[in-house]
């Protein structure tokens, strides 16, 4: 197919020649460098490449260009080569504008001009983009097909499961021609919905998430019975522990019951994570961490629900809901937290049919031209408001408290204030949800005004509270009154070690009341509920695992 292309577009001829020269110097042997001086010319070049069956690995676009700026160009270029990695070229004075523009297009990086020396400021960024492109490949991906109903909770559950596990799929409504054709071809009736069709033609009628995982290439079965380290939970803490554990030679397996990434994986944009000045989506961060763990040969199992933890001599054993089990020298509990259910009449019935927990990014396009309501006042709610504001006519943030300042980062509050179609209503709560088959209206109580009103609403996204869901640890490890796992100093009462502690030492900082069982991230009592701290605790827990294995 010939060499893949690297395309650069800049209306400043001197800059255009310079970036093309630097790219050819480093990558010219393996890639053809295509240069354009305007967005329209670059699109013409891309269309010609498309017709010739060419591939595009990287696109670099100047932020400020007449007629068509870099963001507008990349939006259109993505339709032609969606797998190409993308970067904006920007002057220092435009940095803030470029960072904000990156929220509009899923850009991988931005580069400051000038980038001299390229060995320090250009090539490392391009190397990272090429590595990402090579890992994903620039080819048509065999897609899973999903046939279902728009307002169906089971259909939404399957779509959300595939999206959160980064499995490409194509959605077909059951009442549209292609959806009916797929149902007919499978010999399936309405009871088969949702219908999942694999690239090799296998049809699954109303499958469970575990059944889908088994046919789309997700690992669900361990390759051995005994490990050095079992990690329960695939959020930032679990992924951090998997990377560090496997990279340091421990036989490591990570077990996740739903989707890798946890709550962070659902975030549309994380902007305060160290090393990503232009922000990173939860899905991107998750995929990079998953690939990094795989690079060090950590096993990752999905749709495996751990229901019990036992001690059998020196072994720590986790049992699954299907009766299977895994044994290891040590365990890290990193199950995070889940959003607390919204308790109001009608909500449970309409969950998955207009009421959603978390950002539910798959619903973004469906929100076009509608009024969206978001319940919650923390960072996750603010990030979701910014994401859905790109689609919805209006986004209203319903906050129970008096203001956002106590619960949301300053930078997010400033961004929300700058978006015209986002409204923040404080001291408000949803007291009822209404709809026949799908959400149609909500009743909102405004305690500040002392009023109650029923408002049209097709999409309600809930981001309230945090529950650890650690009931499966009953009788196994010490937890606080809310269910969070106590560790280290929190286990010592009046200087006394926890009941049943059989070591001649105090528990290590992240160690639970069972020696060799550690907790990291949001599930741990008194932890800092931030992505960066969760990753750090995952890494720290591995260090303490080594210490435990060495000293007991």
What residue ranges do the domains of the chain occupy?
5-136, 144-215, 226-338+467-551, 347-462
How far CA 50 is from CA of 56, 105, 211, in Å, comes to: 9, 21, 37
Q: Match 């196994």 to its residue by tokens.
A: 476
Q: Which of 118, 10, 125 is nearest to 62 (CA)?
A: 10
- pLDDT attached to residue 243: 97
The three-state secondary structure class of 272 is: coil
Q: Are 493 and 482 in contact (CB under 8 A)?
A: no
Buried b (16+ CB within 10 A) or exposed e, 494-524: eeebbeebeeeeebbebbbbbbbbbbbbbbb
Strand order in the sheet with 109-113: 32-36, 5-9, 56-62, 85-91, 109-113
Q: Checking phi first, is residue 522 left (phi over 0); if not, alpha (psi -120 to 50) or beta?
A: alpha
Same fold? 5-136, 226-338+467-551 = no
- Mean pLDDT by 10-residue block, N- to C-terminus, for the chain (552 residues)? 87 90 93 93 89 86 86 85 87 57 68 83 89 71 82 92 85 90 86 90 92 92 95 97 97 95 80 79 83 94 96 96 96 94 96 90 84 94 92 95 92 95 96 96 95 95 91 96 96 92 96 98 93 95 97 85
How far CA 222 is from CA of 300, 435, 521, in Å, comes to: 8, 44, 24
Maximum Cα–Cα distance for the chain, whole Å? 75
* Helix (H) or strand (E) segment spanning residue 534: helix 531-551
How many C-beta neighbours within 10 Å does residue 82 have? Answer: 11
**How many residues comprise the chain?**
552
Q: Are 472 and 459 in contact (CB under 8 A)?
A: no
Q: Which of 222, 474, 509, 473 is nearest to 333 (CA)?
A: 473
CATH class of 226-338+467-551: alpha beta
Whether the ω angle into residue 533 lies within 30 degrees of 0, i.e. cis, is no
Rounded CA separation 367/332 (Å): 39
- Phi, psi (degrees; rounded to nearest 5) at 109: -150, 165
According to CATH, what is the number of the domain 347-462?
A: 3.50.50.60
- pLDDT attached to residue 185: 85
* Helix (H) or strand (E) segment spanning residue 213: helix 209-215
Q: Which of 194, 213, 197 is nearest to 257 (CA)?
A: 213
The three-state secondary structure class of 416 is: helix
- pLDDT attached to residue 285: 86
- pLDDT attached to residue 140: 46
According to CATH, what is the number of the domain 5-136?
A: 3.40.50.2300
How far CA 549 is from CA of 36, 249, 327, 528, 546, in Å, comes to: 59, 13, 15, 27, 5
Rounded CA separation 280/196 (Å): 30
Rounded CA separation 337/318 (Å): 19
Q: Which fold has domain 144-215?
A: Glutaredoxin (3.40.30)
């Amino acid at each position: 197919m010939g060499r893949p292309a690297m395309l650069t577009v800049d209306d400043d001829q001197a800059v255009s020649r310079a970036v093309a020269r630097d790219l050819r110097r480093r990558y010219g042997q393996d890639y053809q460098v295509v240069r354009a001086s305007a967005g329209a010319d670059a699109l013409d070049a891309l269309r010609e490449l498309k017709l010739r069956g060419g591939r595009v690995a990287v696109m670099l676009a100047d932020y400020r260009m007449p007629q068509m700026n870099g963001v507008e160009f990349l939006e259109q270029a993505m339709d032609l080569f969606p797998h190409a990695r993308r970067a904006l070229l920007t002057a220092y004075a435009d940095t803030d504008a470029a960072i904000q523009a990156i929220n509009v297009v899923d850009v991988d990086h931005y580069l400051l001009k000038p980038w001299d020396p390229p060995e320090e400021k250009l090539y490392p960024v391009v190397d990272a983009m090429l590595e990402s492109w090579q890992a994903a490949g620039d080819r048509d991906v065999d897609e899973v097909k999903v046939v279902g109903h728009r307002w169906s909770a089971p259909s939404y559950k399957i779509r959300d499961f595939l999206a959160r596990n980064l499995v490409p799929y194509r959605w077909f409504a059951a009442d549209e021609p292609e959806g009916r054709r797929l149902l007919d071809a499978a010999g399936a009736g309405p009871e088969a919905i949702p219908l999942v069709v694999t690239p090799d033609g296998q049809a699954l009628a109303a499958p469970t998430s575990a059944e889908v995982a088994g046919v789309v290439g997700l690992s669900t079965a361990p390759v051995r019975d005994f490990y050095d380290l079992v990690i329960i939970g695939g959020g930032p803490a679990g992924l951090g522990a998997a990377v560090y554990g496997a990279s340091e030679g421990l036989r490591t397996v990570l077990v996740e019951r739903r989707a890798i990434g946890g709550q962070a994986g659902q975030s549309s944009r994380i902007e305060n994570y160290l090393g990503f000045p232009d922000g990173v989506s939860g899905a991107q961060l998750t995929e990079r961490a998953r690939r990094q763990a795989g690079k060090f040969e950590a096993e990752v199992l999905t749709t495996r629900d751990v229901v019990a933890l036992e001690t059998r001599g020196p072994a720590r054993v986790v049992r699954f809901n299907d009766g299977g089990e895994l044994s290891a020298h040590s365990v890290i509990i990193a199950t995070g937290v889940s959003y607390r259910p919204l308790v109001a009449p009608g909500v449970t019935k309409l969950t998955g049919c207009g009421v959603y927990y978390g950002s539910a990014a798959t619903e973004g396009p469906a929100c076009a031209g509608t009024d969206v309501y978001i319940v919650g006042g923390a960072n996750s709610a603010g990030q979701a408001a910014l994401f859905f504001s790109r689609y919805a006519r209006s986004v209203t943030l319903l906050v129970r408290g008096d203001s956002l300042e106590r619960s949301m980062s300053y930078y997010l509050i400033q961004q929300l204030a700058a978006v015209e179609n986002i409204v923040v209503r404080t001291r408000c709560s949803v007291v009822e949800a209404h709809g026949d088959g799908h959400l149609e209206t909500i009743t909102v109580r405004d305690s500040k005004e002392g009023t109650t009103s029923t408002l049209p609403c097709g999409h309600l996204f809930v981001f309230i509270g945090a529950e650890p869901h650690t009931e499966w640890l009953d009788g196994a490890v010490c937890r606080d009154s809310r269910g969070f796992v106590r560790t280290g100093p929190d286990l010592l009462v009046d200087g006394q070690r926890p009941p049943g502690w059989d070591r001649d030492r105090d528990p290590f900082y992240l160690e639970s009341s069972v020696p060799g069982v550690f907790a990291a991230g949001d599930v741990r009592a008194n932890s800092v509920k931030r992505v960066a701290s969760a990753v750090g605790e995952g890494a720290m827990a591995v260090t303490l695992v080594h210490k435990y294995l060495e000293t007991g």
